[in-house]
Amino acid sequence: MNWLTQAARIAGRELRGGLGGFYIFLACLALGVAAIAAVGSVRVSITEGLEREGRNILGGDVEVEWDFRGASEAERAYLASLGTLSEIHDFRSMAATGDGSEADRALTQVKAVDDLYPLVGEVELSPEIPLEEALAGDGVVVHPVLADRLGLEVGDALWLGSKPLTITALLRREPDAGADGFGLGPRTLVRRATLEESGLLSEGSMYETKYRLLLPAETSDDALDALKAATDTELEGTGARWRDRRNAAPQVERFVDRIGSFLVLVGLAGLAVGGVGVSAAVRAYLDRKTPVIATLKTVGAEGRTIFAAYLMQIGVLAAVGIVLGLILGVLIPLAAGPFIEARLPVPVALGIHPFPLVEAALYGALTALIFTLWPLARTEQVRAASLFRDVSGPARGLPRKRYMAALAISAALLIGLSAWLSGIPELALYAAGGILAALVVLVGAAWGVRALSRRLARTRLARGHPALRLALGAVGGPGGEATAVVLSLGLGLTVLAAVGQIDANMRAAIDRDLPEIAPSYFFVDIQPDQLSRFLERVQGDPAVNRVDYAPMLGGVVRSIGGTPAREIDHWVTRGDRRISFADALPAGTRLTAGEWWPEGYDGAPQISFAQEEAEEIGVEIGDEVVMNVLGRDITATVTSFREVDFSSGGIGFVMIFNEAALSGAPHTWLSTVYAEEEAEGQLLRDVAGDAPNITAIRVRDAIDLVTEALSALAAATSWGAGATLLTGFVVLIGAAAAGERGRVFEASVLKTLGATRGTILTSFAIRSALLGAAAGVVAIAGGAVAGWGVLTMVMEAPYAFEPVSALVIVLGGALATLLAGLAFAWRPLAARPARILRAQE
Amino acid sequence: MVLSLRDVSLSLQGNAGMVDILHDISLDVAARETVGLVGPSGSGKSSLLMLMGGLERATSGSVEALGNDLTAMDEDALARFRREHMGVVFQSFHLIPTMTALENVATPLELAGARDAFDRAAAELEAVGLGHRTGHYPAQMSGGEQQRVALARAAAPRPDVLLADEPTGNLDQATGEAIMDLLFGLRDRHGATLVLVTHSQELADRCDRTIRLVDGRLDRETRRTAEAAE
């Protein structure tokens, strides 16, 4: 019989004792695995739903999109040759209840469609009439939210631009809503032909044209690839963007992917917290087993046999914990399914998805291994002599090299796996580093608070205050729960504090900073001949503090400095870019290099480039930029760099041409107006009443939308952090429960020596508070560092320490420790000394 | 009388129902007297000692110590009474593992509000020959050393009554003898009343009086003076 078989037999016999005493171990592991499995399952459910329903979501097999223009005859002919072609115009506009300045107005996202729309799926209306009927004549369909906002019902008139229309139905379901991403206003659906006299969609105005293609049913993904390559070549340099059924809703997919990955990282932090509990449970178990291990050694068991026997037992227990976690991880998304489906514009394929379960199980197994190897390795250091001599006190020194190597390999595997599987390797590595650093700092803090307590216990300060000295002695003395409590609580609180810091900072940025500097309105699509009347109105208003305006048109970058745009990986060179022109240097603009062209300059075209973007792309003064503007290639030389702050909410263009280069091209004007809040309503009515084609985007509404999206993000993150904290609390309860035996004994001895229950309780409370405070201080620092890292490195936002959030979290932590400590103090306080002390004889 | 027990019975809840431990015990212990409680295992010696110290509550009967009715006191009152009047020594020492020897000895003095708790504790440790081990934790000491710390802890507040539950039970003979010499020395020095549970006849013989228990009842009382007279 070899040593492994022997070990298996010993393990089997030992396991007959059942799972008693392992509830904390199981809970810690199951919670961590469940959180990760649930997040992963939801993520896969959504992405699988997107894949399966891609054609329906996109409203076709392929979509080719242009900004600010429709396809030329040749382009349209090419697309039509590929399959059934449908054309959609998508733009923002003002929907109004009338045409005068008394009318109510609201921003809407208009979708102007042709007779073929939708190529795939069904539009659902209320009343249930066919779309064809609803859009016939001057018919228009609106989203119920828009109808509510304007107080309109079916049958009422609705004005788009200068065109009165009739609401024929409300939009219940728009099959391709997921593909359109997040719009700024509720949807209006209308025939393109109906808008002919509306004054909207004129050359130079801001709109998107989408060409949806239905391909023959047998078109494979390979054929799609070939088609994409052919189309890329055919339409190269026209600013056309390709999308097909395989990535129908990239915004939703990216959003879900991002938040899913982020939550998995939070889940991993939770698993690390659970690991502390797992480790403590295994330590306690092996401590109880010391006589058994010593006996086994006495009768001839080798160290490796004993190590393997206990590793097998922990393995079986870990498997039970992981399976429990997986069951929970499958059930939670199924239970929350309707809630998740109601909040997403895309279908969700809820069910059992094996991949995220395997991922969660792997994380769970590796975590269990990492956190139990150390105490397991110590079993080799138990000497047979401990049976006969009370060699109490923990074993010292490091485990043997092979165990240390196994530990390092497991940790590397876990970190590597999370970096690989999360799809955000950089953030995963930072998170792993952060968790590791937090663990090290917490171990240090635990050591520090113990050393400090030992020292304080011996100072005059503690003398004469038995409750304080008892607490200091318990925290600083050998054994005890100090390390486990500080580690688990500290790590849990650090994760929570980090999430709190990130959330509070982002809210602060939106609530406090932005509205102060942001304009009230963006007015877009102002036609050149409307500009002077518009400026007259807004500049003449005493409630308006500032008006900025600039001409705007669309263009496609062909090449920069001789490098074709497709070889430059930067957002500036992708698709259509909004550009502007100016003669004199616009007020408030600061040049960082080069020189602005002289007034009235009409020589070879010149460009002033945004400093930061120029640096990112590698543009230098003197470089030539070839820009296609409405079908005409313009070659311009970069002659200056400017400072452009895109975060201020004002007007900012990456490229400004000299006036003579572009003023002949069709363009519209963009204006930002900074006004007192109470004047905003009248301003909108006057401007839109005078020129109904001008679209006003109220910045406060846009901010509300961002805040709403952020709240959803914060809510999801809070759930993740909540799972981590719950694990932390389980560990805390485990530590308190494990310490209960010790406290019962201690309380009995102290009563014998004359301590009242009040003194004993005070002592327990002080030690809980000490540990909670130590964990809390580290959590504040760790949360601040993690918050700073995520905000500055991942979100590229400024960071400021948010003391309220931090304090609340830390006080909560100290209180939780106190409560857990006190909850487990009743038994020690109630115990009769004689029974307890004699049981130990 | 320092200790006075009248018709004391003790029943405890066992796994198979109530177990009667002591039956109608009545006895008195005079000031400065040394009493040895002897008897076979399970005869109720230690339980009787615990009742005297207020560490266990009698099911019926009265237990008076220094004129105070212990059965009428609550847990805290008992604790305060012990810190002023009693010292207890256990077979398993029962030192607090998270405290050094000095801290263990100082604790009852601190609880009693002594300002010089640590100086007195140090002196007490010196007296039991452990002046050089004050900073050590229990786990770092041998059984004999731990019991000496426990003795110092019990004696430090100068109690009126010293209760010792088989103080040498966990020690080898030589160490045990040394501990007993120390215990009796402390008693002599402080003039305390001593009640001692022991299995050792030799030890019991050093007491003024020996009380033998069998099955929870008083079986026989022997006085050393009387014995010597016979």
Which of B22, B59, B74, B98 should be substituted to probe chain A, the one whose Cβ sees the most A Cβ atoms within 10 Å?
Answer: B98
Q: Residue A478's closest chain B neighbor by CA?
A: B98
Q: Taking residues B108-122, what's their average pLDDT?
A: 87
Percent of chain B residues topping a pLDDT of 90:
46
Q: Give the number of residues written for chain A.
A: 841
Distance CA A81, CA B224 (A): 124
- A477:B90 CB<8 A: no
DSSP H or E stretch at residue A95:
strand A84-96
Q: Taking residues A671-685, what's their average pLDDT?
A: 82
The residue to which tokens 């930067």 are assigned: A570
- B82:A754 CB<8 A: yes
Count of Cβ atoms closer than 10 Å to residue B160 Cβ: 19
Mean pLDDT of chain A: 82
Is pLDDT of A705 > 80? no
Give me the CATH code for the B3-229 domain, please.
3.40.50.300
Q: Between the CA of residue A230 and those of A321, A793, B75, what are the distances in Å?
A: 53, 39, 91
Is pLDDT of A495 > 90? no
Output the six-digit token pair for A332. Answer: 């939670």
- In this prediction, residue A512 has a pLDDT band, given cuts at 50, 70 and 90, of low
The residue to which tokens 């072609």 are assigned: A85
Three-state DSSP state, A614: helix
Output the six-digit token pair for A513. Answer: 């900073």
Residues 136-195 (B) with a CB less than 8 A from some CB of A: 137, 139-140, 143, 153, 157, 165-166, 169
Task: Write out chain B residues lying below 8 Å of A746, CB-based.
Answer: 96, 98
Most confident segment among A76-80, A298-302, A744-748: A76-80
Q: If you write DSSP's letter for every residue of A22-51 in order, what string do you get?
A: -HHHHHHHHHHHHHHHHHHHHHHHHHHHHH
So where are chain A's domains? Answer: 1-53+252-423, 59-247, 444-519+699-841, 544-675
Predicted pLDDT at A385? 56
Judged by a CB distance cut-off of 8 A, whether residue B16 touches chain A is no
Distance CA A538, CA A686 (A): 9
Q: How far is B187 from chain A (nearest CA, A)?
A: 18
Angle at alpha carbon of residue A69, lines to A64 and A75, rounded to 5° = 50
Q: How far is B80 from chain A (nearest CA, A)?
A: 5
Predicted pLDDT at A516? 57
- B139:A832 CB<8 A: no
Counted across chains A and B, CB pairs separated by less than 8 A come out at: 120
Judged by a CB distance cut-off of 8 A, whether residue A392 touches chain B is yes
Q: Are A271 and A46 a contacting pair, CB within 8 Å? A: no
Output the six-digit token pair for A830. Answer: 């109630």
Q: Taking residues B43-72, what's their average pLDDT?
A: 91
Three-state DSSP state, A168: strand
> Mean pLDDT lowest for which of A150-164, A213-227, A476-490?
A476-490
Residue B96 has its nearest CB partner, among A463, A749, A835, at A749
Is pLDDT of A392 > 50? no
CA dihedral A689, A690, A692, A694 (to 10 degrees): -120
> Mean pLDDT lowest for which of A58-62, A408-412, A587-591, B163-167?
A587-591
Q: Residue A835's closest chain B neighbor by CA?
A: B56
Q: Are A294 and A5 a contacting pair, CB within 8 Å? A: no
Output the six-digit token pair for A556. Answer: 């496609």
Q: How far is B206 from chain A (nearest CA, A)?
A: 24
Q: How many CA atoms lie within 13 A of A725 on its CB side?
A: 21
Q: Residue A758's closest chain B neighbor by CA?
A: B76
Higher pLDDT, A650 or A46: A46
Count of Cβ atoms closer than 10 Å to residue A670 Cβ: 20
So where are chain B's domains? Answer: 3-229
Is pLDDT of B116 > 60? yes
Predicted pLDDT at A839? 65
Task: Write out chain A residues lying below 8 Å of B81, CB-based.
Answer: 754
Is pLDDT of B228 > 50? no
Q: Taking residues A304-312, what's their average pLDDT?
A: 87
Residues 817-836 (A) with a CB less than 8 A from some CB of B: 832-835
Whole-angstrom Cα Rg for chain B: 17
Q: How far is B26 from chain A (nearest CA, A)?
A: 20
The identity of residue B39, as a single letter, is G
Q: Taking residues B183-187, what's their average pLDDT?
A: 88
- A837:B55 CB<8 A: yes
Task: Write out chain B residues lying below 8 Å of A833, CB-based.
Answer: 50, 55-56
- In this prediction, residue B2 has a pLDDT band, given cuts at 50, 70 and 90, of very high
- A756:B80 CB<8 A: yes
Report the relative pairing of strands A124-126 and A163-173 from DSSP bridges.
antiparallel
Judged by a CB distance cut-off of 8 A, whether residue B74 touches chain A is no
Predicted pLDDT at B164? 93
Classify burial at A501, counting beta carbons within 10 Å of its beta carbon; exposed 0-12, middle 13-18, buried 19 or more. Answer: buried
Q: Taking residues A654-658, what's their average pLDDT?
A: 91
Residues 6 or more apart whose CB falls under 8 angstroms from that of A389 comprise none
Predicted pLDDT at B119? 92
Q: If you write DSSP's letter for every residue of A698-764 in order, what string do you get?
A: EHHHHHHHHHHHHHHHHHHHHHHHHHHHHHHHHHHHHHHHHHHHHHHHHHHHHHHTT--HHHHHHHH
Predicted pLDDT at B230? 39
Predicted pLDDT at A493? 83
Q: Residue B134's closest chain A neighbor by CA?
A: A458
Q: Are A149 and A188 a contacting pair, CB within 8 Å? A: no
Q: Are B94 and B150 a contacting pair, CB within 8 Å? A: yes
- In this prediction, residue B6 has a pLDDT band, given cuts at 50, 70 and 90, of very high
3-state secondary structure A202-255: CCCCCCEEEEEEECCCCCCHHHHHHHHHHHHHHCCCCCCEEEEHHHCCHHHHHH
Predicted pLDDT at A291? 75
List, for residues A192-220, the tens digit of each pLDDT value.
888 877 777 776 677 888 999 888 878 88
Q: Residue B83's closest chain A neighbor by CA?
A: A754
State whether ipTM is beyond 0.85. no
DSSP label at residue A512: I
- B79:A754 CB<8 A: yes
The identity of residue B223, as a single letter, is R
Residue A751 has its nearest CB partner, among B79, B118, B153, at B79
Predicted pLDDT at A322? 95
List, for residues A538-590, the tens digit of each pLDDT value.
888 888 888 888 998 888 888 898 888 878 888 888 777 889 999 988 877 88
* CB contact burial A136-159 (16+ within 10 A = b; e otherwise): eeebbbbbeebbebbebebeeebb
Report the relative pairing of strands A139-142 and A163-173 from DSSP bridges.
parallel
Q: Are A226 and A117 a contacting pair, CB within 8 Å? A: no
Phi/psi at B178 (5° precision): -60, -40
Is pLDDT of A765 > 70? yes
Judged by a CB distance cut-off of 8 A, whether residue B103 touches chain A is yes
Task: Write out chain B residues lying below 8 Å of A465, CB-based.
Answer: 110
